[in-house]
């Protein structure tokens, strides 16, 4: 039995030995290989071709790779999202795709509010001015009270709900764009269910928490930004692929939106020389860290290893989420 723990260098900086201990406790004879990915697909295939299970975060497992994995039974993802795996191909080859059902709701919600508050209070300008020995409250410009503002949350899963709770506690009026939220449920939660057009016309803050799929890829584009009437702050702690990055740059340049707080970009392998969002007082970018806390990171390792163990023992009810469970008849 072989398990491959594979990822980019930064993501393998976690305590991988802890994962090995969990796996060996369940399977004392298991062969565990740690592989640092360097964008060499052929080398990756040579490593995972005989694997029974893979633990991965950001490496794309496409049809070409999956077709070579003759023994693979499960891909356990150190993430809630699973857009890095070709689910249709995985299903065709009998491979379970298993992201974490939930592990970092609190962290992402807190990070969302941290980005929002930092932008609302012009913290970047103030920090820079003080470091340059300037003591002047007017440098922040027209800082406004956040209480009473209207925030629209796009996508209302666990994280969206957690953001709504924190926003409401600060006196923010919350609207939601969601295809799954029922009006009676919205009323019970104290949020207003609106369509996208209404959201763009009435929001002071836009916060994206949508899953990435065919409908949401490139969802936030110049056409939508141009329809924003209140020059809202745009927050994205969801998926970078939901935003057309060049359009976001143009929207900032043209003043369609007033500021942006981003924890995700279009790629995890950022080419800083081409990143036009850098060097702006009204933009804060963090390196996809919203998920992270010591507690959340350990929870994620536990979930991924438990997934592999249950999958290889064929104890499928013990797996928190199998994206293609029905298609595989499990």
Return the pLDDT at 27: 98
Return the pLDDT at 80: 84
Return the pLDDT at 81: 83
Above pLDDT 90, what percent of the chain? 94
Instruction: Reply yes or no on whether the pLDDT at 10 is more than 90.
Output: no
Give this prediction's pTM: 0.82
Return the pLDDT at 21: 97
Confidence of residue 268 (pLDDT cuts 50, 70, 90): confident
Residues with catalytic roles: 239, 268, 288
**Residue 184, Ramachandran bin (φ over 0: left; ψ between -120 and 50: alpha; else beta):** alpha
**217 vs 307: CA distance, rounded Å:** 28
Looking at the chain, the domain(s) classified CATH 3.40.50.720 span 2-103+293-328, 105-285
Instruction: Reply yes or no on whether the pLDDT at 269 is more than 90.
Output: no
How buried is 307 (Cβ within 10 angstroms: 0-12 exposed, 13-18 middle, 19+ buried)?
buried
- The full length of the chain comes to 330
Say whether 206 sits in a helix, a strand or coil. Answer: strand
On average, the pLDDT of the chain sits at 96
CATH topology of domain 105-285: Rossmann fold (3.40.50)
- Interval 108-153: pLDDT, tens: 999 999 999 999 999 999 999 999 999 999 999 999 999 999 999 9
Instruction: Reply yes or no on whether the pLDDT at 315 is more than 90.
Output: yes
- Interval 179-220: pLDDT, tens: 999 999 999 999 999 999 999 999 999 999 998 889 999 999
Four-way CATH pick for 2-103+293-328: 3.40.50.150, 3.20.20.140, 2.40.30.10, 3.40.50.720: 3.40.50.720
**303 vs 157: CA distance, rounded Å:** 19
Return the pLDDT at 179: 92
For the segment 150-169, the average pLDDT, to the nearest whole number, is: 97
């Amino acid at each position: 039995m072989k398990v491959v723990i594979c990822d980019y260098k930064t993501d393998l900086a976690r305590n991988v030995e802890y994962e090995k201990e969990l796996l060996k406790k369940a399977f004392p004879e298991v062969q565990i290989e740690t592989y640092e990915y360097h964008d060499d697909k052929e080398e990756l295939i040579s490593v995972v071709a005989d694997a029974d299970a893979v633990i991965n975060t950001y490496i794309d497992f496409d049809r070409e790779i999956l077709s070579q994995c003759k023994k693979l039974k499960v891909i356990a993802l150190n993430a809630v999202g699973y857009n890095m795996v070709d689910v249709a191909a995985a299903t065709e080859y009998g491979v379970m795709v298993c992201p974490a059902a939930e592990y970092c709701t609190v962290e992402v919600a807190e990070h969302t509010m941290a980005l929002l508050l930092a932008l609302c209070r012009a913290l970047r300008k103030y920090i820079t001015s003080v470091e340059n020995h300037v003591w002047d409250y007017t440098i922040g410009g027209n800082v406004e009270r956040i209480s009473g503002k209207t925030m629209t949350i796009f996508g209302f899963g666990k994280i969206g709900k957690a953001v709504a709770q924190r926003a409401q506690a600060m006196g923010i009026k919350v609207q939601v764009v969601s295809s799954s939220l029922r009006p009676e449920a919205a009323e019970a939660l104290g949020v207003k269910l609106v369509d996208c057009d209404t959201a763009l016309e009435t929001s002071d803050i836009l916060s994206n928490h949508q899953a990435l799929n065919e409908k949401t890829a490139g969802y936030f584009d110049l056409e939508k930004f141009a329809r924003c009437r209140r020059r809202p702050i745009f927050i994205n702690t969801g998926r970078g692929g939901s935003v057309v990055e060049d359009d976001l740059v143009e929207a900032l340049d043209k003043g369609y939106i007033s500021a942006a707080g981003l924890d995700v970009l279009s790629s995890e392998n950022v080419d800083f020389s081409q990143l036009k969002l850098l060097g702006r007082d009204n933009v804060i970018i963090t390196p996809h860290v919203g998920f992270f806390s010591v507690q959340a990171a350990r929870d994620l390792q536990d979930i991924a290893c438990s997934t592999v163990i249950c999958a290889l023992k064929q104890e499928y009810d013990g797996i928190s989420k199998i994206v293609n469970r029905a298609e595989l008849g499990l």
